[in-house]
Amino acid sequence: MASDIDNKDSAYNARVQQQIDQFIDQPIHDLPEIFHIWSHNYIRPGIADVFGVESINDVYKGAVREASKQFGDGCRILSVGCGDGNVEIQLALSLIEAGFTRFRIEAVDLSPVLIERFREQLHANKLEGYILPQIADLNKRTPSEKYNVIMANHSLHHIVELEGIFDFIFESLTDDGIFATCDMIGRNGHMRWPESEAVLQTIWPLLSDRQRFHHQLLRHDRERFVDHDCSTEGFEGIRAQDILYLILNRFFPYKFFGYGGFMDVLTDRGYGPGFDQNNQWDVEFIGAMSKLNEMMLDSGMLKPTTMIAYFTKQERAPVHFRNRTARSSVRIPFEKPDWIFE
C-alpha cells in the first residue's frame, strides 16, 4: 500500500512534470501589443523613477553595477528559475558592452528542455565563459556558495517552498549583496482580489464581444468576467500572494516599484489580444482604465500585482514610486476593504 509520503512525492512529481511541459511549447516572452502600450505609459515611468533606467535588463544591470561598486569589483550572480536564459544572455551581453567582464552568472532551472535551449543560445552568443546553466529544483536546493547578486525573473511565483527559497537566497547572498527580482505578487493562481474583480465586473458590459474572448482558454465570457485560477496545473502563481510578505520578513526593501491590479487582466495573454493597438477606442479605453488603476493604487484601494525590486540584508535608504512602499503593497489575504459588498 502506498504511504502518505509516496503519495505526496508522486503528486509533487506530477506537478513538476506539468511545470516542465508548460513551457515546452508555450512561448515565455510574447505579450499582446496592447500590453506594450500600457507598459510604455504606466510601467516604464515607475521603473525610471525608482531605478533611473527604462528596461528590466537595465534594472538587473544596475544591481550588478551597485553590487560590484560601479564595476570596480568582480561579481558573482545567481539566477533562480532562469528558463531559456533570454534575460541572463541579454544581461551578460549588456555588461560586456559596458566594458565589464569580471562577472559570472550561474543559472538554475527545473526544466531540462529550457536549459538545453539556454545552452544553444549561449553557444550562439559565445558566452560559455560567462554563464553556467544548471538543472536543479529550487524547492530542494541548499546553500553552498555566496553571490553578490541573486536574481529571480518571474520565477518566484512558481515556487511552493517559498520560505526555504528565501532562506536559501538570504544565506547565499553576500552581506552587501542585492536580491533583484521582477515577479507577480497578486492573489494565488493570478486570481483577482475582490476589489479588482469588482472593477472588472463593473466595466465588463462596456467591452465588445471581441474583447470578452479569452485567447488562452478559448472561452467567450459574454455575461461577466470569469476569474481563472492558474494554479490548478503545474505551479503557476501557486503562492504569489505570500511572496512579498515573506521577503519582507527576511530582507530590507531597498528599491521598490509595484504596479498592476485589474489592468493585467485587460492587457495580458488572455483578453489582451482582443484590444487593437490601431483602434482609437481601444487605446483610449485602455488609457482611461490605466489611469483609474493608478489612482486606486495610489489611494491604497488596490494593491500591486507585480513588483520590480531590490532587497538587501542590511538596511539602506528605501526608494519607492510615489507613496507605494514595499510594506504598503502587501495584500493581507483575510482583510477585505469596507467598500466591497457581498
Q: How far is the CB of 203 from ligand SAM (least distance, A)?
A: 28
Q: Which of 224, 197, 222 has the alpha carbon at shortest distance from 305?
A: 197
- Residues 121, 116: Cα–Cα separation, whole Å: 9
**Is there binding between residue 137 and ligand SAM (CB under 6 A)?**
yes
- Residues 141, 85: Cα–Cα separation, whole Å: 19
Q: Which residue is nearest to ligand SAM (CB)?
A: 83
Which of helix, strand or coil describes residue 199?
Answer: helix
Residue nearer to ligand SAM on the CB measure, 71 or 186? 186
- Pick from 47, 110, 240, 247 the residue near ligand SAM by CB under 6 A: 110
Pairing of strands 213-214, 219-220: antiparallel
**Footprint of ligand SAM on 213-242 (CB under 6 A):** 235
Q: How far is the CB of 129 from ligand SAM (least distance, A)?
A: 21
Q: How far is the CB of 332 from ligand SAM (least distance, A)?
A: 26
- Residues 240, 159: Cα–Cα separation, whole Å: 9
**Footprint of ligand SAM on 28-57 (CB under 6 A):** 28
Category of 190 on φ-ψ map: left (φ > 0), alpha (ψ -120 to 50) or beta: left
Binding mask 149-188 for ligand SAM (x = CB under 6 A): ----xxx--xx-----------------------------
Q: How far is the CB of 53 from ligand SAM (least distance, A)?
A: 18
Pairing of strands 147-153, 173-184: parallel
Query: Per CB under 6 A, which region of 57-65, 136-144, 222-230, 296-304 contacts ligand SAM?
Result: 136-144
Backbone angles phi, psi at 255, to 5 degrees: -120, 135
Q: Which three cell numbers stand for residue 32?
A: 499582446
Which of helix, strand or coil describes residue 233?
Answer: coil
- Pick from 63, 64, 138, 184 the residue near ligand SAM by CB under 6 A: 138
Binding mask 70-89 for ligand SAM (x = CB under 6 A): -----------xxx--xx--
Q: How far is the CB of 225 from ligand SAM (least distance, A)?
A: 24
Which ranges in 32-71 belong to alpha helices (H)? Answer: 33-38, 44-51, 56-67
Contacts of 289 (CB under 8 A, 6+ apart): 203, 262, 263, 266
Q: How far is the CB of 182 from ligand SAM (least distance, A)?
A: 8
Footprint on this chain of ligand SAM (rule: CB under 6 A): 19, 23, 28, 81-83, 86-87, 108-111, 114, 137-139, 153-155, 158-159, 235
